[in-house]
Structure 1
């Protein structure tokens, strides 16, 4: 076992998954959002304003209150990168759906190029449920082109839960083709993604540009912004070597405000392309892309998913956020086994 893997395994110890806390799911009466509160503390919100190109969970907080997600472009923080304005919170979309790019669409796309991009619009909250052990949130939405033709109907259900040191999000998203056949081209950018706080970026000696909340640009080494991140997968891959490898789970861990912080994404055996390829970057993009097999395998594999009108595909993912205590591979294997038994 190499030194990096030994260090990673030492970092992960058993988290407190018992003693689940109460969850409240509260739909806003004033804006297009739904708040999730666990044990009386803000966890996250589903936000879907009309001017945003997709619905996202933003921000996401750990059990100790540490912010897990990057602030930019909605609320910039000092020392953060301001690249990739389409990386907002936690989302699910894809780079090429009948030739339309849903992944890269953002406010930064010029108006004369917008027709090449897709939107996830008309979000309708279909259910909210609070509980003593978990909370649920469901919505429906349309994957559309710029003239409002509907390619896909989306039905998404979240289940939120938490304990003293953990927060969990289970997501089940079903996409159904409408009047035309829908083709997901085998391509790099997709499918499930989250953009994370600067502390979970990788340390680096490279000089980078960072912008503060007032727009002032400062050139500093990445390690100077508190970056301490590293990846570990179910297959024992670590660091930058995680990108373009398969695994049933992948965890990103680091130190924030002097305390351990980790986030793991767990794949489901019923998902297409299981176990997924990890589109996991050192600058804070953490994504699972089961459909982009050609680029990740250097052409050895290929998957161009096609749905005829009325056909559906379902994606299932679990996200586990742990703080104060450290989470080890055995725990994530147990989580993956339990999650794999769900529908």
Structure 2
């Protein structure tokens, strides 16, 4: 398969892991992350229907995610899907409550829930937070514990994002839907489709997965990793997302749209493979847990120059 690498080659070209000064400061509404004194990202846990990471800066301080709807009116940005907020983790069918979708202005929908933080701890380069998944009536459906670590890998920056689902309020079923789960809405210059009419940008991005499938054909396919890259402010820059081999149902399916949405989704089998509805359901009994681990790697260059396949192997062996 495309990009498959033998172990001998990996050992002959080790990657350099660079020590960095990671600082995280919590101001009561967000935890601000800097690397070597430069802004990296903010873990915003209030003000939205779910915790998000925004903004996110890659190598050379290039903006890696869409600003909308946190900041509106930015040139060249589409205003579709306001629930696509930079980087987030959620799912749209959990005990029949929708967490991917969000309530907008006006009357709230009775089937849409929110994620409410219950604790946050900072330990060096790591954030550990817990959240309740709450329905429109205020009842807890389930909970999670998420661990986010930040650092650098040679010339790249990374976010390790682990989420443990907790059946804290009885049995919970994570439903078979494409609308989930570990997601990013990229900088518009990384999208695969043409730029919107607003603005002057005409560049589009490129993408490939671990199996060699490219661009729009990646949607619904299973892969260990995906990588998107394009020119941002004069520099070729990309983001790779890694699915850890210990994750349930690895390699995951990818809800990867050409307009900039990329989401690892191990549950949406009905949509991705056309199998009977409910095939992708996963049920946790009361008290059970389920853990997923991912890495977002923000890198200079394209998939080959950034050695994404090698970097994935290093991550997979951790």
TM-score normalized by the length of structure 2? 0.90
Q: Which residue of 2 aligns with 1:189?
A: 179
Provide the rounded CA distance (Å) in 2 between the counterparts of 1:19 and 1:310: 39
Q: Which residue of 2 aligns with 1:8?
A: none
The Cα of 1:20 is off from its aligned counterpart by 3.2
Structure 1: where are the runs of 5+ without partners?
6-13, 130-134, 211-219
Q: Which residue of 2 aligns with 1:312?
A: 289
Partners of 2:190 and 2:205 within 8 A in 1: yes
Q: Which residue of 1 aligns with 2:119?
A: 124
| Alignment of structure 1 residues 117-196 onto 2, 5 Å | 117-129=112-124, 135-163=125-153, 165-196=155-186
Change (3 A) 1:109 1:181: farther
- Is 1:278 the equivalent of 2:268? no
The Cα of 1:40 is off from its aligned counterpart by 1.0
Q: Which residue of 1 aligns with 2:51?
A: 55
**Stretches of 4+ aligned residues off by more than 6 angstroms:** none
Deviations 1:2-21 (A, max 9, x none): 9xx9xxxxxxxx99854332
- Is 1:90 the equivalent of 2:80? no
Q: Which residue of 1 aligns with 2:30?
A: 33
**Larger CA deviation: 18-27 vs 305-314:** 18-27
The Cα of 1:273 is off from its aligned counterpart by 1.6
Deviations 1:126-182 (A, max 9, x none): 2331xxxxx111111111112221111211111111156311111111011123211
Provide the rounded CA distance (Å) in 2 between the counterparts of 1:112 and 1:151: 18
Cα root mean square deviation, aligned: 2.4
Partners of 1:234 and 1:329 within 8 A in 2: no
**Larger CA deviation: 164-173 vs 193-202:** 164-173
TM-score normalized by the length of structure 1? 0.83
- Is 1:99 the equivalent of 2:96? yes
The Cα of 1:321 is off from its aligned counterpart by 0.5
Provide the rounded CA distance (Å) in 2 between the counterparts of 1:15 and 1:55: 35
Change (3 A) 1:124 1:332: same
SS in structure 1 at match of 2:292: strand
Q: How many residues align?
A: 307
Q: Which residue of 2 aligns with 1:321?
A: 298
The Cα of 1:80 is off from its aligned counterpart by 0.5
Deviations 1:94-131 (A, max 9, x none): 0100111100114x264242x211110134212331xx
Change (3 A) 1:316 1:35: same
Q: Which residue of 1 aligns with 2:194?
A: 204
Partners of 2:22 and 2:33 within 8 A in 1: yes
Provide the rounded CA distance (Å) in 1 between the counterparts of 2:182 and 2:244: 13
- Is 1:303 the equivalent of 2:273? no
The Cα of 1:340 is off from its aligned counterpart by 2.2
Partners of 1:203 and 1:227 within 8 A in 2: no
Structure 2: where are the runs of 5+ without partners?
4-12
Provide the rounded CA distance (Å) in 2 between the counterparts of 1:66 and 1:288: 23
Q: Which residue of 2 aligns with 1:263?
A: 239
Deviations 1:184-221 (A, max 9, x none): 1111111100111111112428xx454xxxxxxxxx7x
Pairing partner for 1:65 from 54, 61, 65: 61
